[in-house]
Amino acid sequence: MNPPRLSRRAWITTASGVVAAGLIKTQADAVRLAAQEAPLQAPDPTKVPGRFTSEVGRRATGEQPRRLARAQALSSSSQSPLQDLMGIITPADVHFERHHAGIPEIVKGSHELLVHGMVERPMVFRMADIERYPRVSRLYFIECSGNGGGAYSRDAMPTEITVQALDGLLSTSEWTGVPLATILREVGVRRGASWLLAEGSDSAMLSRSIPLEKAMDDALLAFGQNGEAIRPEQGYPMRLMLPGWEGNAQVKWLRRIEVTDRPTMTREETSKYTDPLQNGTARQFSFVMDAKSTITFPTYPYVLPDRGWWEITGLAWTGRGRITRVEVSTDGGESWADAALQGPVLPKCTVRFRHLWEWNGREAIVMSRATDETGYVQPTVQQLWEARGDQTRYHFNNQRAWKIASDGVVTFGLGDLV
Amino acid sequence: MRRALVVAGLALAACGPVPSTSSAGAVVDFADALPANAPSRFEFGAEASEARIALWDVDVKPDGEGLPLGSGTVAEGERIFQMHCIACHGPTGTEGPNDQLVGSEPWGEWPGSVTVGGYWPYATTLYDYITRAMPQLTPGILTADQKYAVIAFILNRNGIVPEDAVMNAETLPAVSMPARDRFVVDDRQGGAQVR
């Protein structure tokens, strides 16, 4: 059972009612007050006939997870509400977004995929053609490689930041599609080919060079998301899925694949999505997302109303296979305990971890760190600074920390450790 | 089988940095993706004609492959820039509100500025990108001559080509970019080391 949570809205409502009366001085007071309030009076459901069946269901009125969509711009992003989600699946309508030129309107019936370049038979496929090939369905996370940048700068460590704003460019879905290898087999890749260019059908015609090795390994042409057609925000009618790799490379609205013997050096693999290091170089084609974990509860702006038993929980993932271990610390990294991993633990997919904790009411800093099957341990921010310097712009997989004050107020706490 | 063939192909093509992804450990096995009775070809889809390919094959490679005929000067480019770009990139390419296209900071700190002059490794990327995506609200409206011209202007204001430079399919790939040799292959490989 999850602990009862006070939503942000509930807190604001409660607070606005009683702040003026001087009844609450802290957020914790507000939480205690809210807990004492009588539940909203609703008609007794055992005495009122219910609704009929309907063609499309809807969420319970009180349950409305929302993306965080701030900038109204063609090139912008929105984050998944990690604090509101359970298990590992992201409901498709709150999957995170990152678009470089908005979401195109595409009619499936007229969408085509052109596959050409170093192939025996250049071909054009309509969606009906693609969908006819033998399909697979797999659970994979997608994470934007810019995710978590808010917890990296020495000089700007936030305290009042939600896990959604910090790490919400991460979502997990069951993807259905056709292995790209099947299509490449159909067109016949020529000897000497080693890369391909994947191009989207948005008004940025977003393009990335992808090593052929990945294309032949586990890449998918995905048209299904959580059991239904992929959403326009995720690339309808079809996107490239590159399990475990940065989101930007998994080109949405895919319309063209050119098989080549070298990278094209598009803007998204030179000017952007490259990582300047402190030694005067920049890492390029840094596709794989390294192991990372993030706590989703307790996080800001939650307030623990009482000492006692609480379940610390969150998500862990790695682009290099499976997560093998997640540890949780409640003393700022002094000591660590193994968290329980909720199976099945799938490769290149998020795993839910849990750690039951008895809070003694004193200030605490809770942290998590993930280990993957290669033996890689999620580093501290100090380790990343040392390895990469301050100027790197992607792949912020360092450990996070949340501070619980003695009055139960939770804030982002990494600043206390650096 | 398929994989073995591809790996051989990779070894032959020593062109461009090839990331090491082979150490990724137990990757998803697609052995079950194609049933044993699958034909060697399904023959779904249609052959693409040369004309069909030419319609969409717009990308430009660092060696200039894909660049069309045409040319443009810095002076012409300044006019194009003022007409089509300054609303979002500023009168001199430094003011924004959107991406800074001209880097003014001196070299020393890396990266001095994440701009064409301070960071971009290839000049051809400008042609490829502008063809796809710029101007942002009306992508695709510039002719080849206009694109070469505006690129000449951007490169000149970044101090990379002289005032009398002419950009075309030959000169653009030959432009030497200050940050060209700073890009390195990703050396993260999992395991104990933090990179």
Q: What CA–CA distance (Å, rounded) separates B78 from B76?
A: 5
Kindly state whether residues A154 and A261 are assigned to the same domain.
Answer: yes
pLDDT, tens digit (0-9, with 9 covering 90-100), for B128-147: 999 999 999 999 999 999 99
Q: What percent of chain A has pLDDT over 90?
A: 87
User: Residue A120 corresponds to which tokens in the numbers above?
Assistant: 């025996």
A72 touches chain B (CB under 8 A): no
Closest Cβ opposite residue B48 in set A116, A287, A290: A116
Closest Cβ opposite residue B120 in set A74, A271, A291: A271
Which residues in chain A are contacts of B122 at CB distance < 8 A?
265, 270
Kindly state whether residues A193 and A259 are assigned to the same domain.
Answer: yes
Q: Is the pLDDT reported for residue A16 higher than 50?
A: no
Kindly state whether residues A262 and A138 are assigned to the same domain.
Answer: yes
Q: H helices then E strands: how many in chain A? A: 7, 24
Cα Rg of chain B, angstroms: 22
User: Residue A112 corresponds to which tokens in the numbers above?
Assistant: 């085509």
B118: exposed, middle or buried (Cβ count in 10 Å: 0-12, 13-18, 19+) = buried
Kindly state whether residues A257 and A127 are assigned to the same domain.
Answer: yes
Whether A39 is in a domain gets the answer no
Q: What CA–CA distance (Å, rounded) separates B172 from B174?
A: 5
How many of the other CB atoms lie within 10 Å of CB of A262? 20
* Number of domains forming the structure of chain A: 2
Q: Is the pLDDT reported for residue A162 higher than 50?
A: yes
Q: What is the mean pLDDT of chain B?
A: 85
Closest Cβ opposite residue A207 in set B10, B59, B195: B59
Q: What CA–CA distance (Å, rounded) separates A326 from A340?
A: 8
In angstroms, what CA-CA distances link A15 with A31, A299, A409? 9, 19, 15
Cis amide linkage into residue B39, ω under 30° from 0: no
Give the 3-state secondary structure of residue B78.
Answer: helix
ipTM of the complex: 0.89
Kindly state whether residues A178 and A226 are assigned to the same domain.
Answer: yes
| Model pLDDT, residue B22 | 39
pLDDT, tens digit (0-9, with 9 covering 90-100), for B42-76: 999 999 999 999 999 999 999 999 999 999 999 99
In angstroms, what CA-CA distances link B163 with A367, B159, B183? 56, 9, 28
Residues 188-247 (A) with a CB less than 8 A from some CB of B: 189, 191-195, 197, 199, 203-207, 211-214, 216-218, 243-244
Chain-chain contact of A391 with B110 (C-beta, under 8 angstroms): yes
> Which chain A residue has its CA at the smallest distance from B195's CA?
A387
Q: A139 is in which domain, residue-wise?
A: 97-273
| Model pLDDT, residue A26 | 63
Kindly state whether residues A263 and A114 are assigned to the same domain.
Answer: yes
Whether A387 is in a domain gets the answer yes
Chain-chain contact of A266 with B59 (C-beta, under 8 angstroms): yes
Closest Cβ opposite residue B133 in set A195, A205, A260: A205
> Which chain A residue has its CA at the smallest distance from B3's CA?
A216
- Least reliable range by pLDDT among A164-168, A334-338, B76-80, B107-111: B107-111
- Of A116 and A70, more confident: A116
pLDDT bracket for residue B12 (50, 70, 90): very low
Count the residues in chain A.
418
Give the pairing type, strands A112-117 and A254-260: parallel
| Model pLDDT, residue B26 | 34
How many of the other CB atoms lie within 10 Å of CB of B37? 5
Q: What percent of chain B has pLDDT over 90?
A: 73
A287 touches chain B (CB under 8 A): yes
C-beta of residue B195 within 8 angstroms of C-beta of residue B188: yes
Sign of CA dihedral A203, A97, B128, B142: positive
A334: exposed, middle or buried (Cβ count in 10 Å: 0-12, 13-18, 19+) = exposed
Kindly state whether residues A267 and A300 are assigned to the same domain.
Answer: no
Kindly state whether residues A265 and A365 are assigned to the same domain.
Answer: no
Whether A324 is in a domain gets the answer yes
| Mean pLDDT in residue range A380-394 | 94
CA distance B193 to chain A (A): 7
Q: What CA–CA distance (Å, rounded) separates A122 from A190?
A: 11
Beta bridge partners of B66: none
User: Residue B48 corresponds to which tokens in the numbers above?
Assistant: 């693409």
Q: Residue A359 sits in a domain of what CATH number?
A: 2.60.40.650
A122 touches chain B (CB under 8 A): yes
Kindly state whether residues A324 and A406 are assigned to the same domain.
Answer: yes
pLDDT, tens digit (0-9, with 9 covering 90-100), for A177-210: 999 999 999 999 999 999 999 999 999 999 999 9
pLDDT bracket for residue A418 (50, 70, 90): very high
C-beta of residue B173 within 8 angstroms of C-beta of residue A356: no
CA distance A329 to chain B (A): 20
Q: Is the pLDDT reported for residue A83 higher than 90?
A: yes
Helices B74-84 & B144-157 angle (0-180, nearest 10): 100
User: Residue A237 corresponds to which tokens in the numbers above?
Assistant: 């009618």
pLDDT, tens digit (0-9, with 9 covering 90-100), for A251-294: 999 999 999 999 999 999 999 999 999 988 999 999 999 999 99
Give the pairing type, strands B183-185 and A282-284: parallel
pLDDT bracket for residue A34 (50, 70, 90): low
Sign of CA dihedral B156, B161, B164, B169: negative
Chain-chain contact of B26 with A347 (C-beta, under 8 angstroms): yes
Residues 25-44 (A) with a CB less than 8 A from some CB of B: none
> Which chain A residue has its CA at the smallest distance from B15's CA?
A262
Which residues in chain A are contacts of B23 at CB distance < 8 A?
320, 374
Q: Smallest Cα–Cα separation from A180: which of B75, B121, B16, B33?
A: B33
| Mean pLDDT in residue range A373-401 | 96
Give the 3-state secondary structure of residue A383.
Answer: helix
Chain-chain contact of A211 with B129 (C-beta, under 8 angstroms): no
Whether A63 is in a domain gets the answer no
- Least reliable range by pLDDT among A4-8, A261-265, A408-412: A4-8
| Model pLDDT, residue B105 | 62
Instruction: Name B82's Cβ contacts closer than 8 Å, sequence gap at least 6.
Output: B91
Instruction: Name A56's Cβ contacts closer than 8 Å, sequence gap at least 6.
Output: none
Q: Smallest Cα–Cα separation from A28: which of A386, A307, A348?
A: A307
How many of the other CB atoms lie within 10 Å of CB of A365? 18
Instruction: Name A142's Cβ contacts closer than 8 Å, sequence gap at least 6.
Output: A95, A96, A170, A171, A172, A173, A241, A247, A250
C-beta of residue A248 within 8 angstroms of C-beta of residue A145: yes
User: Residue B47 corresponds to which tokens in the numbers above?
Assistant: 């052959």
Pick among 3.40.50.1820, 2.40.37.10, 1.10.760.10, 2.70.98.10: CATH of B70-182: 1.10.760.10
Which residues in chain B are contacts of A218 at CB distance < 8 A?
27-28, 30
A133 touches chain B (CB under 8 A): yes
Task: List the Cα angle A4/A292/A87 in 5-degree steps.
Answer: 35
Q: In one letter, which amino acid is A395?
A: H
Q: Which residue has the tokens 């098989």?
A: A259
Chain-chain contact of B132 with A244 (C-beta, under 8 angstroms): no
Q: What is the mean pLDDT of chain A?
A: 93
C-beta of residue B162 within 8 angstroms of C-beta of residue B104: no
CA distance B54 to chain A (A): 10
Return the domain boundaries, chain B. 70-182
pTM of the model: 0.90
Q: Which strands form A401-404's sheet, in the order they lie side by side?
A: A337-338, A323-329, A364-372, A401-404, A410-412
Chain-chain contact of B190 with A372 (C-beta, under 8 angstroms): yes
Chain-chain contact of A217 with B122 (C-beta, under 8 angstroms): no
Whether A104 is in a domain gets the answer yes
Kindly state whether residues A202 and A313 are assigned to the same domain.
Answer: no
pLDDT bracket for residue B112 (50, 70, 90): confident
